[in-house]
Structure formats: structure tokens, C-alpha cells
Chain A
Amino acid sequence: GQSLEQPSEVTAVEGAIVQINCTYQTSGFYGLSWYQQHDGGAPTFLSYNALDGLEETGRFSSFLSRSDSYGYLLLQELQMKDSASYFCAAKGGGGNKLTFGTGTQLKVEL
């Protein structure tokens, strides 16, 4: 089976930097993705790490360590619109299967 654990809630102030962690136990792991979901909306893709290291996309960066079965999403220069749920997701377990983490609710305050 596959399981991915995230903190349930993170609160930060506008303009700050926040890190959302994800630890996983999976079989046949290919890579780790991150998705953002606003209340009432659909998940939208943010980032993907197939290899160890840091991937940077604008204000968002994502990191993967396969040896530690760990990854994180780093959000810089936080804005109010970043308040949303964030999910890590592991690709693996055969075929096109994507398993989502438990999710982190990010609240950005003034």
C-alpha cells in the first residue's frame, strides 16, 4: 500500500515563507507531485520531483529526498490567495496510479 503524511494545518502571515512537509511509504515510487486546492475548487498541479533535489517554479519550490522518503513544498512571499489545501501525491504502485497525501490546510493571515 501507499501512505503519505502531512501536517493538517499551517498558519503563516502574508509575505512570509512556509514549508509543508510530506513523508511517504510507497511501493514502486516514481516521483512526488504537489497540488493546490481552494475551497470548492479542483486540485491544480504545482510541481513534480522525480529526482532528489529542489525544483523551483516561481514562488513555489519543491524538494525530494528518496533516501529519507521525504519531500516538502516551500512557498515564498505568501499572499492571501495562497490560503488553500495542499496535497502531496505519489506516482507509483503500478500504472498511472496517483495516491494523495492527507493534505495540509494553509491559512495566510495579514
Chain B
Amino acid sequence: DTEVTQTPKHLVMGMTNKKSLKCEQHMGHRAMYWYKQKAKKPPELMFVYSYEKLSINESVPSRFSPECPNSSLLNLHLHALQPEDSALYLCASSLSYEQYFGPGTRLTVT
């Protein structure tokens, strides 16, 4: 199984809502990532978890809160987002240099 799954596929939320994005992989990868991607732009790294511990936070605003409940799951909790946070949110996992990406959650903040 070389698949990373993400739910939901699409999410529309208001600026006062709280929502969560979920990511799951069963490849035994111990590094997991969240990226944000705007249209026609490259993915931008947000967070890296290594062995279930947060190892990199790329100065992401606190309205984004990551969580790694276990080695297969990664969540991204969203609260009080701004319209400029609308983007494709990609989850990825890796064993070494190759990263496997999920299909992403397309988030729209209204």
C-alpha cells in the first residue's frame, strides 16, 4: 500500500469556524508533512513530524495547529482562518528522500 489518504477532499469554512484536516498512511513512514499550495505556485512546507514529534514549524500562524496522534495519522486543526488561507493543503510522508503525497484538501475560507 503506497497511498496517502486525506479527508475531506473539499472544505468550505467561515472565518469563525473550527475544522480539522486528516491524513493517513500505512507505509510505516516515520516522517509526515503538511504543505500549503496556492494556484500556480510550488508547495510550501508548513510542518514536519518525525517519529511523531514536531521537528519543523516553518513559522506558521497559530491558527494552524498540527497534531500527530500516532505514526499513521496526521491532523491539521484550523481555527479563525483568513480568506488568504484558502489553498490546497497537501499531506506527505517519507522513509528517505522520496515523499509520497496525498490528493490534498482544497480549502476555501469565506
Contact = CB atoms under 8 A, between A and B. Distances in A.
Interface of A: 30-31, 33, 41-45, 48, 50, 87, 91, 94-103, 105
Interface stretch (B12-20, B68-76, B101-109): B101-109
B97 A50 contact: yes
B25 to A, nearest CB: 13
Contact of A96 (B40, B41, B48, B104): B48
Interface string B20-55: 000000000001010000001111110010100001
A95 B31 CA distance: 10
Contacts of A42: 90, 101-104
Nearest to B4: A42
B16 to A, nearest CB: 29
B41 A103 contact: yes
A98 B43 CA distance: 10
A91 to B, nearest CB: 6
A87 B101 CA distance: 14
Given A43-B90, A96-B50, A48 B98 contact: yes
Contacts of A99: 45
20 contacts: A30-B97, A33-B98, A41-B103, A42-B90, A42-B103, A43-B99, A45-B100, A50-B97, A94-B56, A95-B48, A95-B55, A95-B56, A96-B31, A97-B45, A97-B48, A98-B45, A98-B99, A99-B45, A100-B43, A100-B44
In the A-B complex, list the 3 residue pairs whose CB atoms are closest, starting with the nearest: A100-B42, A42-B101, A96-B31
